[in-house]
Structure 1
Amino acid sequence: MNKNEALTKTETYVRQKLEGEGSGHDWWHIHRVRNTALKLAEKEQADLFIVELAALLHDIADHKFHEGDEKIGPATARKWLEHLDVREPVIKHVCDIIGDVSFKGAEVETPMKTVEGKVVQDADRLDALGAIGIARAFAYGGYKERELYNPEVSPEPHHSFEEYKSSIGPTLNHFYEKLFLLKDRMNTDTGRRLAEKRHHFMKEYVNRFLAEWKGND
């Protein structure tokens, strides 16, 4: 199977599986991440085929929806790519990216080994920032039946992936526990530039949210 056919089949597979999902991890998240990753890949001279496959499959079985199982994503991607007869070195590379791409806690390092992994991780993190990032945060919080905000519950600097996965804090805490940290964890110059703008917008939003909460608007 040639590369274009593999990508077309993968897009169809992912879209059918994730379309209409309501937590912010839907097909359109994948679509945005794929497009951003390809733009970054061109600037970073990364392998476009590996980047696109990894971006399309990076949330095919997210641990958040599979009882915290961090191995199910790479395993599901591997099964699909083997079905397409993709070469083993490509499968391994894509699965390694999927296994490492996610944020795993404020005190947990998640370095990417390859330029392809770096651009996919940046693209995924950029979609967690800015106006869309805010919308996705509250969509996920609603999906998990979490409070918008509770001033009696402080954000936690999670020291392990297990702590992060088990967090049940209000959605606004997520900005301090993850989203505000992403700007300084970008891998590429373009990613850092885009993250800076989106980070600033989110900071303004949270300041406004807290002002309205306190009746100081």
Structure 2
Amino acid sequence: MNAEVLVEKTARYVERLFTGEGSGHDWWHIRRVWQNARAIGQKEGADLTVVQLGALLHDIADWKFHGGDEEAGPTAAAAWLRSLGAAEDLVQPICQIIREVTFKGAGVSTMPSTLEAQVVQDADRLDAIGAIGIGRAFAYGGYKGREMYNPAIAPELHATFEAYKTNQAPTLNHFYEKLFLLKDRLNTPSGKQMAQERHDFMEAFVGRFLAEWHGSDPAPESFQIPISINHSL
């Protein structure tokens, strides 16, 4: 099966699986990541077959919805690709992308090992910030039954993936614990160029949110922008 057909069949398969999903990890999220990954990959000289399949399958069995199992996604992706007769030298790089793409906590390094994984990670992270990122954050918070904001619960910069996985904090904390960090943790020149405007919009939104919430009372110090963070991971 040639690469174009493999990508098309995978796109239709993922669309069937994720249409109507309500947590912000739906088909349209995957489609945006796919399109951005393809555009970034073209600019950066990446293998576009690996990039496109990695983007399409990056959420195929996300640990967040599979009991924290980090291998659920690579296992499901490998099974699908092998069912189409894909060679192992294509299957394995895509499985590695799925392992490496996810954010694992503010204090955890997640530098991808290949250019293709860097491209897909950038595309996924771009969809987590800006206007779309704001909408997705609150969609996921509602899906999980979380408060929008609770000024008594300060953000936590998680030092381990386990701490990040088990976090149940209100949605606004997620901006400080992940989303505000992403701009400085993109990998490619193309991804970094796309991130700044989205980041600025997100900061403006959170500033307005806190102003409306607290009125004349100042927000707690832990919710002042910018938060002190380590951008090097």
Query: Which TM class, normalised by the smaller chain length?
Result: over 0.9
Distance (Å, rounded) in 1 between the aligned partners of 2:216 and 2:36: 38
Alignment of structure 1 residues 138-149 onto 2, 5 Å: 138-149=138-149
Q: Per the alignment, in what secondary structure is the counterpart of residue 59 of structure 1? A: coil
Hey, what's the Cα distance between the residues in 1 that align with 2:14 and 2:144?
23
Task: Please report how far the alpha carbon of residue 191 of structure 1 lies from its aligned counterpart in structure 2 after TM superposition.
Answer: 0.8
1:206 maps to what in 2? 206
- Once the two structures are TM-superposed, the CA of residue 202 in structure 1 deviates from its matched residue by 0.3
Q: Which residue of 1 aligns with 2:137?
A: 137
The question of whether the paired residues in 1 share the 8 Å contact of 2:14 and 2:27 is answered with yes
Residues paired across the two proteins, number? 217
Match of 1:127 in 2: 127
Paired position in structure 1 for 2:95: 95
Which residue of structure 2 aligns with residue 163 of structure 1?
A: 163
- Answer yes or no: is the 8 Å Cα contact 2:44–2:190 preserved in 1: no
| Inter-partner Cα distance in structure 2 for 1:41 and 1:8 | 18
Measured in 2, the distance between the counterparts of 1:111 and 1:35 equals 22
Partner of 1:14: 14
1:153 and 2:181 equivalent?
no
Residue in 2 that maps onto 1:78: 78
AA of the residue aligned to 1:124 = D
Q: State the 1:190 CA deviation.
A: 1.4
SS at match of 1:136: helix
Corresponding residue for residue 46 of structure 1: 46
- Indicate the RMSD between aligned Cα atoms, in angstroms: 0.9
Deviation at 1:196, TM superposition (A): 1.0
Mapped to 2, the partners of 1:216 and 1:136 lie a distance apart of 29
Per-residue deviation at 1:216?
A: 4.2
Deviation at 1:17, TM superposition (A): 0.5
Secondary structure of 1:131 counterpart: helix
Q: Does 1:106 align with 2:124?
A: no
Q: What amino acid is aligned across from residue 132 of structure 2 in structure 1?
A: I
Which residue number corresponds to residue 23 of structure 2? Answer: 23
Partner residue in 2 for 1:117:
117
| Cα offset, 1:3, TM superposition | 1.1
How far residue 61 of structure 1 moved from its aligned partner, in angstroms, is 0.4
Q: Which amino acid in structure 1 is aligned with residue 150 of structure 2?
A: N
SS in 1 for 2:103: coil
Counterpart Cα distance in 1 of 2:41 and 2:182: 19
Cα distance per residue 1:177-205 (max 9 Å; x no partner): 00000011000111111111111000000
Long gaps (5+) in structure 2: 218-233
Deviates more, 1:167-176 or 1:186-195: 186-195
1:195 is the counterpart of 2:195? yes
Q: Deviations over 1:130-184 (max 9, x none)?
A: 0000000000000000000000000011011110000000000000000000011
Identity value in percent: 59
Cα distance in 1 for partners of 2:112, 2:195 equals 18
Q: Counterpart of 2:4?
A: 4
- Report the TM-score when normalising by structure 1: 0.99
Q: Which amino acid aligns with 2:206?
A: V
Deviation at residue 118 of structure 1 after TM alignment: 0.5
Task: Give 3-state SS (helix, strand or coil) of 1:106's partner.
Answer: coil
Distance in structure 1 (CA, Å) of the matches to 2:79 and 2:56: 14
